[in-house]
């Protein structure tokens, strides 16, 4: 049985707590497609080699020139291995890479695996023999590369179908095999691929899944191990995320569908984990305004073991682009989220969010409204041809430049209050420090608070605002240096944040 949950958002902005903030590296050293994983010490590490502790402090940062690093895993000895692609360092055609670093980011070795077609590594995991398994996309085929600890190939296999398959994620299984997800293509539709191979790369079973009774496209995005099986997260078109709970044979135990009313998902930006109560926590990114494909919010949905939604929240505001990378559950059942963000000032960075066990921040927050329905998933077996594949292994040493963290900026969090409206307008904007603020609200409050803060989150001015019949105007002449500022207005339970520029 499959459940459909829809959440509806009206976005109003509030200030953050000290636990929610942005961390930035240099814009040239951030990839918008970064991924991240939790680390053994309770922190995070991103695929572009920025290491955080458990409360969002940066421990170290590395940057290797001319590498597109897409996925990372942590080894049993706490070192790290990355995959992605490069066409530099004598490689030529874009080829998948294997890069090892120590637990502190020191370079240990790198290899490129050169094939006849342009290829890219899309997922990497360590295996029980301390080697690695790398999933690679080669046009409409999947290549699995099994290596030893140093990246030397043990075996390489290529998997093909009539219409094509591509991988997005791979996990290791208790029986020393591997499960892959991605896309299974046909002439009329793309479906979620679920593919099991044994320790030597031979097929055990292969299935495709579809959450839709129509010919809508669906693709698997993320795999995780859970009690008794796996959690598979996929995306249908750009509207719905599917959360499959599967047993170890790939049989569907339950499916939840998450839909955003009036919003669309960011492609390939969904991530699920099993929680300590047997449920799931799923995070991703959505465009609240389908016409605006730049500014996006992070969302988080928690379900229990029966698939019922416990809570559903969003974080962000209308002026910021947030792309989710990872979530982890902490020992006290709270959650930490990490993703990529772009400020209105066009600065790229990494956002770190801590919540309590209900997804709540230490600031005003509300749940999304939800509704439910049901449908039956489609599942069918598919035939995949397996063959040995030859690669040329190329050793190289990438150019290392130390990454730096340049600033910390407060994270303003957007929330919903469905029946209350607070809007504010600043004019002129940009200005010279002299401007007018107009506020309109349906709240019964007769007064409010105006705060002006800089981009580091420091409050520079705080003044009272008189509201008459839901409308207020305020003229101000502030002594402000040229730059970007936040204007925050609170009336009753509502808060609106605007960005303005002083020239």
Query: Residue 226 has which token pair?
Result: 């859970």
**Pair 158, 26 in one domain:** yes
Give the per-residue pLDDT at 262: 56
- CA 367 vs CA 85, 324, 358, 497: distances in Å: 40, 19, 10, 20
**Pair 299, 425 in one domain:** no
**Pair 123, 172 in one domain:** yes
436 by DSSP, 3-state: which?
Answer: strand
Give the per-residue pLDDT at 403: 47
CB 289 within 8 A of CB 347: no
pTM attached to this predicted model: 0.75
Q: For position 278, which CATH number holds? A: 2.120.10.30
444 by DSSP, 3-state: which?
Answer: coil
**Pair 380, 494 in one domain:** no
**Pair 376, 428 in one domain:** no
Give the per-residue pLDDT at 132: 97
List b or e across 200-229, with b for residues whose CB sees 16 or more CB atoms inside 10 angstroms: ebeeeebbbbbbbeeeebbbbbbbebbeeb
What's the number of domains the chain is made of? Answer: 2
Domain extent, residue 458, equals: 419-502
CB 161 within 8 A of CB 382: yes
The residues, ordered by sequence, that sit 6+ positions from 473 with a Cβ below 8 Å of its Cβ are 436, 437, 438, 439
The residues, ordered by sequence, that sit 6+ positions from 388 with a Cβ below 8 Å of its Cβ are 155, 156, 157, 158
How would you write the pLDDT of the chain (503 residues) with one tens digit per residue? 444 444 433 333 333 333 444 444 443 455 555 688 899 998 889 887 888 888 777 788 887 777 887 899 999 999 999 999 988 888 888 889 999 999 988 889 999 998 878 788 999 999 999 999 999 998 889 999 999 999 999 999 999 888 888 999 999 998 999 999 988 887 778 888 889 999 999 999 998 887 665 667 777 788 888 878 898 888 877 667 788 888 999 888 888 777 765 555 555 567 888 898 888 888 887 776 667 667 777 778 888 887 777 887 777 665 666 676 788 898 888 888 887 776 655 666 777 777 888 887 654 444 444 444 445 566 667 776 777 777 777 777 776 655 444 433 333 443 333 344 567 788 888 888 888 888 887 667 788 888 777 655 566 777 888 887 778 787 777 677 777 777 777 776 666 767 778 88
Determine the Cα–Cα distance for residues 287 and 238; give it in Å rounded to an integer: 10
Decide if 295 is inside a domain. Answer: yes
Determine the Cα–Cα distance for residues 305 and 337; give it in Å rounded to an integer: 21
CB 449 within 8 A of CB 465: yes
Determine the Cα–Cα distance for residues 306 and 118; give it in Å rounded to an integer: 43
Decide if 414 is inside a domain. Answer: no
**């991988």: which residue's tokens?**
167
**Pair 381, 450 in one domain:** no
Determine the Cα–Cα distance for residues 61 and 34; give it in Å rounded to an integer: 14
CB 436 within 8 A of CB 450: no
Q: For position 433, which CATH number holds? A: 2.60.40.1930
**Pair 41, 80 in one domain:** yes
Query: Residue 321 has which token pair?
Result: 């682009």
**Pair 465, 324 in one domain:** no
Give the per-residue pLDDT at 493: 61
Give the per-residue pLDDT at 185: 83
SS (H, E, C) 235-268: EECCCEEEEEEEECCCCEEEEEEEEEECCEEEEE
Closest CA to 315 of 354, 259, 343: 354
**Pair 335, 283 in one domain:** yes
Query: Residue 344 has which token pair?
Result: 């209105």
Determine the Cα–Cα distance for residues 170 and 223; give it in Å rounded to an integer: 7
16 by DSSP, 3-state: which?
Answer: coil
Query: Residue 44 has which token pair?
Result: 């995070």
**Pair 423, 293 in one domain:** no
Calculate the dihedral angle through the C-alpha atoms of 135, 136, 141, 144, rounding to the nearest 10 degrees: -50
Determine the Cα–Cα distance for residues 60 and 52; give it in Å rounded to an integer: 7
The sign one gets for the Cα dihedral 26, 29, 34, 35 is negative
162 φ/ψ angles, rounded to the nearest 5 degrees: -60, -45
Give the per-residue pLDDT at 462: 76
Q: Write out the DSSP string of 177-203.
A: -EEEEEEEE-SS-EEEEEEEE-TTS-E
Give the per-residue pLDDT at 29: 52
Give the per-residue pLDDT at 169: 93
The sign one gets for the Cα dihedral 88, 94, 95, 97 is positive
């Amino acid at each position: 049985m499959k459940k459909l949950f829809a959440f509806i958002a009206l976005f109003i902005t509030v200030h953050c707590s000290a636990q929610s903030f942005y961390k930035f590296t240099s814009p040239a050293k951030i990839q918008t497609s970064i991924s991240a994983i939790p680390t053994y010490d309770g922190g995070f590490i991103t695929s572009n080699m920025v290491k955080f502790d458990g409360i969002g402090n940066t421990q170290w940062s590395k940057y290797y020139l001319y590498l597109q690093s897409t996925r990372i895993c942590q080894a049993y000895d706490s070192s790290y291995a990355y995959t992605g692609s490069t066409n530099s360092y004598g490689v030529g055609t874009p080829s998948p890479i294997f890069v090892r670093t120590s637990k502190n980011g020191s370079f240990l070795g790198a290899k490129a695996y050169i094939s006849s077609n342009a290829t890219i590594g899309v997922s990497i995991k360590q295996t029980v023999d301390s080697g690695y398994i790398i999933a690679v996309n080669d046009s409409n085929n999947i290549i699995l590369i099994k290596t030893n600890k140093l990246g030397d190939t043990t075996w390489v296999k290529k998997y093909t179908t009539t219409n094509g398959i591509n991988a997005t994620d791979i996990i290791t299984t208790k029986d020393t095999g591997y499960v892959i997800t991605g896309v299974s293509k046909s002439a009329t539709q793309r479906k979620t691929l679920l593919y099991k191979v044994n320790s030597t790369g031979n097929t055990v079973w292969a299935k495709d899944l579809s959450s839709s009774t129509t010919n809508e496209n669906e693709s698997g995005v993320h795999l995780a191990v859970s009690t008794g099986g796996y959690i598979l997260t996929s995306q249908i078109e750009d509207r719905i995320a599917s959360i499959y709970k599967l047993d170890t044979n790939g049989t569907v135990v339950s499916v939840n569908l998450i839909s955003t009313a009036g919003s669309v998902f960011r492609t390939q930006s969904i991530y699920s984990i099993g929680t300590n109560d047997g449920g799931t926590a799923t995070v991703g990114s959505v465009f609240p305004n389908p016409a605006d494909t730049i500014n996006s919010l992070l969302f988080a949905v928690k379900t229990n073991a029966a698939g019922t939604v416990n809570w559903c929240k969003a974080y962000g505001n209308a002026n910021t682009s947030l792309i989710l990378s990872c979530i982890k559950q902490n020992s006290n059942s709270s959650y930490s989220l990490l993703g990529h963000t772009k400020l209105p000032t066009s600065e790229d960075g990494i956002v770190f969010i801590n919540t309590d066990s209900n997804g709540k921040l230490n600031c005003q927050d509300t749940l999304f409204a939800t509704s439910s329905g049901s449908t039956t998933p489609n599942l069918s077996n598919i035939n995949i041809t397996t063959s040995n594949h030859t690669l040329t292994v190329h050793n190289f040493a990438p150019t290392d430049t130390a990454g730096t963290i340049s600033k910390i900026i407060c994270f303003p969090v957007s929330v919903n209050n469905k029946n209350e409206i607070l809007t504010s307008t600043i004019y002129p904007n940009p200005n010279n420090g002299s401007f007018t603020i107009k506020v309109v609200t349906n709240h019964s409050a007769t007064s409010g608070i105006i705060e002006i803060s800089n981009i580091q989150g420091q409050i520079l001015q705080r003044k009272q605002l008189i509201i008459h019949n839901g409308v207020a105007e305020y003229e101000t002449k502030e002594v402000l240096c040229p730059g970007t500022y936040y204007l925050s207005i609170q009336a009753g339970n509502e808060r609106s944040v605007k960005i303005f520029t002083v020239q």
